[in-house]
Structure 1
Amino acid sequence: MRLSLCMIVRDEEATLRRCLDSVRGVVDEMIVVDTGSRDRTIAIAKDCKASVYPFTWCNDFAAARNESLKYAQGDWILVLDADEVLVPESVPALQQAMQLDDAIAIALLREEVGTHHPDSQLSRVFRRHPAIAFTRSYHELIDDSVTRLLQQEPHWRVVALPDVAIRHTGYQAASIDQRHKVERARTIMERYHTAHPDDAYICSKLGALYIDLGDRVRGLALLQKGLETATEAAVLYELHYHLGSFYGQQQQLDQAAWHYEAAIAQPLHPRLQLGAYNNWGNVLKDQGDLEKAKALYETTIAIDPTGAVGYYNLGLTLKAMGQLQEAIVQYQRAIQLQPSYAAAHQNLGVALLKAGNVVASLEAFQQAIALYEQQQAPEAAHLRDALKQMGLLGSL
């Protein structure tokens, strides 16, 4: 079975080589469609032996993706973005799934690296088939066309790999031209929503974006509208998750908890529900239900023992319960997994100070301040001021 990598890129010189190196020896050809790069993206792609084709950008990600499919010669297609890599350990299972006679597409788990964004499950490997194409101009996917194909030819099925196959770094603040990407996303999604006003998927995506931009009224209306028409578990999860976040921000904690519980009730891979578990735990912690919050954080750790945020949240809860030594252990585990976790260093310092270990607490505070300063975060000054008022600043 021949496998073709199909990508669309624009100004990706910082990450493209790492992405292409991750599939070397796995794919039989690399197709790169460039939508207008002005940096060294094209040169890097060619140096990595990829075939590069130009595409005039038309504010439609699906159109660009479908252009890349035209050049593929493999039996199967793998789709990656330049800020993603294929996890080596996933390759044997992926190759085995491609040998299945009835598999039409393979859903891969994508891990978000270095952020608190939830993982996702995406149909990123699929047979080269004339009926399979990308739809939706933003947050483009093949799922709509695969669903239609399965209705016409029910002998096919979608296979889901259980372990992380893609690692994504694109949500890290340092790698985002935030304003440009947000404006582009809003423009494209608004155009699509105008043409498809009842599409629950786009209601979820655009509604969440509006809320992030401070337009709470329009955002809430879209999320609620999405709930009226959504039928797919993944879309229902997102809608409930975003509504939980909205009501949590508004301090309407009972409603937030209801939506997070509804999100977790969806029949999805547990990794995809980590965000709802953690956020529901946060709501319960704020409500004073520390035992239940603790149980939820322990669930997140059981689902993903490598997730730093679960240990951090568990540490906060244990500290609130007065279990300082246990909290210290959890903060340390979070830091081992994510050394740049400034808040974990800061709260470790607080717990150590309360436990009477002043020297170790000052070291933790110092590390937190250094990390906050690297991240240009205002917490660095706030922490310095707090330590100064405590009479500890001179010790740093």
Structure 2
Amino acid sequence: MIVKNEQQHLARCLASVKPHVDELVVVDTGSSDRTVEIARQYGARVAFFSWCDDFAAARNFAIDQVSGDWILTLDADEELVVDWADWRSQVAPEAETMAYWLQLTDVNQPITPLSTMRLFRHTPALRYAGRYHESLRYQDSFVGSARTRELTGLQILHYGYEERLLDQKTLQRDIPMLERIRLSGEMTLLLLLTLSDAYLRSNQLEAAQSCLSEAFERLSPHLLTGEPPRDKTRLSAILFAIGDDLLQHQQDFETALLVCRRGLEWFPTYPPLVHLAGRLLQELGFPLGATAYFEQCLQLGRDGTYQQHEPFDRAFMTLWPAYDLGLLYLHLKDDARAAEAFKLALSFDPNYAPAQEGLALIQGATG
């Protein structure tokens, strides 16, 4: 793992993984707290790397410190959960399998789990690429599905940063680093989304919108032709962010509809985009059409047929569409269905004040 000033999390991470590995390698990139001391207390071999605004370079340096045949990589704010003590028997001996996907769950946010490539062979053919969103590559190309497998014996819990620390990290490291990458001409669509999110967390709305506008300009030829870009990394989330900004902040409904329509063609079971379509139709005065999309969100959640490789807030297929249905039925003067929808919303979150108020309004009118 690579670390910097992680004394708050590191002990939990190392305690979870130490009984299950042959060696611990911690690469420090400039800590000023007790991070290095804690790592050594757990028997980790500590190496030092001079930070150079390049996560892939740091990861590859860490790989070079490892002596074993397989590498498990974690972040300090994560915890390894071993569901099956004999998990090593799942690791295939054949040379074709290069890496394994592990399920990662964020315990601090209500988002869906995601699969992440964290266990891989120690071979020169596997290296990280990407200065910010580093990803594992096989011979300079994406590791194809034929060379990867799912590993069910291990899971990762991600605790993340407290909001205060996240904001501090964003201001002090992420935004300047991402802007330097932007100036270098190496900015991907995913990095534009990341920078936009960072600006939003820093209450810099105009700067966030400029990132989304740049992403939209790059995507415009694909939106017009219907041919998705080659790199689809988090494309569904990028399209949602652009469409949400067009609807919520710019009120450009026509362009938002184009983004949403293409997004649903490419990712028909991604609940945030389905919900966005409902919001757009609701705003444009088509309540029956909006109802169908909100119902679809709820159905995706009930059936579990939603797009599962892209994490998102579960409320997109529970609380929010249920509440929006309540509002729509109120508008249609169908108090019975509105009350049913508000009650459904409260079954997901009993303390959700807007649904409580909607239900009270109906009960007051009928009482």
- Shorter-chain-normalised TM-score: which range? 0.7 to 0.9
For 1:284 and 1:255, the matched residues in 2 are separated by 13
Structure 1 stretches lacking a partner, 5+ long: 1-6, 336-343, 358-396
Relative distance call for 1:236 and 1:162 in structure 2 (3 A) is farther
**Rounded Cα–Cα distance in structure 2 between residues aligned with 1:92 and 1:76:** 16
- Residue identity in the other structure for 1:166: I
User: Which residue number in structure 2 is paired with residue 276 of structure 1?
Assistant: 273
Q: Write the distance in 2 (CA, Å) between the matches of 1:285 and 1:172.
A: 35
- Counting aligned pairs with the same residue, the percent is 24
Aligned length: 335
Does the CA-based 8 Å contact 1:77-1:127 persist in structure 2? yes
Classify 1:236/1:127 alpha carbon distance in 2 versus 1 (closer, same or farther; 3 Å): same
Shift of 1:187: 2.4
Match of 1:345 in 2: 352
Work out whether residues 195 and 211 of structure 2, in 8 Å CA contact, stay in contact via their aligned partners in 1. no
Provide the residue aligned with 1:333 in structure 2: 348
Shift of 1:316: 0.4
* Correspondence 1:187 to 2:176: yes
Describe how 1:64-79 pairs up with structure 2 within 5 A: 64-79=58-73
Alpha-carbon distance in 1 for matches of 2:155, 2:37:
27
Give the secondary-structure state (helix, strand or coil) at the position aligned to 1:134: strand
Q: Which residue does the alignment assign to 2:255?
A: 255
For residues 327-380 of structure 1, the C-alpha deviation after alignment (integer angstroms, 9 at most, x for no partner) is 324323345xxxxxxxx43234324523549xxxxxxxxxxxxxxxxxxxxxxx
| Unpaired runs of at least 5, structure 2 | 223-228, 307-312, 330-334
Partner secondary structure for residue 142 of structure 1 = strand
Residue 146 of structure 1, CA deviation: 5.2
Residue 137 of structure 1 aligns to a residue whose secondary structure is coil
CA distance in 2, matches of 1:286, 1:91: 53
Deviation at 1:284, TM superposition (A): 4.3
**CA–CA separation in structure 1 for the residues paired with 2:171 and 2:18:** 32
- Find the counterpart in structure 2 of residue 365 from structure 1: none
Q: Does 1:317 align with 2:317?
A: no
Residue 128 of structure 1 aligns with which residue?
A: 122
Q: Which of 206, 214, 219 lines up with 1:221 in the alignment? A: 214
Q: Which SS does the other structure have where 2:141 is aligned?
A: helix
Change (3 A) 1:248 1:164: farther
- Cα pair distance change 1:70/1:219, threshold 3 Å: same
Tell me the distance in 2 between the aligned counterparts of 1:207 and 1:30.
35
Is the contact made by 1:264 and 1:276 (CA closer than 8 Å) also made in structure 2? yes
For 2:76 and 2:107, how far apart are their aligned partners in 1?
Answer: 14
Q: 2:101 aligns with which of 107, 112, 122?
A: 107
Q: Alpha-carbon deviation of 1:65?
A: 1.4
> Any conservation in 1 of the 2:16–2:81 contact (CA below 8 Å)?
yes
Kept in 2, the 8 Å contact 1:277–1:300? The answer is no
Q: SS of 2:109's equivalent?
A: coil
Distance 1:218 1:313, change over 3 A: closer
> Post-superposition shift, 1:238?
4.0
Residue of structure 1 in register with 2:136 after alignment: 142
| Distance in 1 of aligned mates of 2:116 and 2:359 | 42
- Give the root-mean-square deviation of aligned CA atoms: 3.8
Q: Which moved more, 1:20-29 or 1:8-17?
A: 20-29
Give the CA deviation at 1:163. Answer: 11
Q: Distance in 1 between matches of 2:138 and 2:283?
A: 40
Q: 1:170 aligns with which of 152, 155, 160?
A: 160
Contact kept in structure 1, 2:18 and 2:24, CA below 8 Å = no
Report 1:222-241 matches (<5 A): 222-225=215-218, 230-241=229-240
In structure 2, relative to structure 1, the CA distance for the partners of 1:334 and 1:149 (3 Å cut) is closer
SS class of match (1:58): coil
1:45 aligns with 2:32: no
Structure 1 counterpart of 2:52, which letter? C
Partner of 1:307: 314
| 1:234–1:16 distance in 2 versus 1, CA, 3 Å | same
Alignment of 1:350-369 (within 5 A): 350-354=357-361, 356=363
Paired residue secondary structure (1:107): strand
What code does the residue aligned with 2:178 have? M
Letter of the 1:263 partner, please give it: G
Q: Alpha carbons of 1:103 and 1:257: their partners in 2 closer, same or farther (altered >3 Å)?
A: farther
- Alignment counterpart, residue 12 of structure 1, candidates 6, 20, 34: 6
For residue 239 of structure 1, report the CA deviation from its aligned partner: 3.3
Q: How does 1:25-40 map to 2 (within 5 A)?
A: 25-40=19-34
Structure 2 CA distance, aligned partners of 1:84 and 1:108? 13
Shift of 1:207: 5.5
Residue 22 (structure 2) pairs with residue 21 (structure 1): no
3-state DSSP of counterpart to 1:77? strand
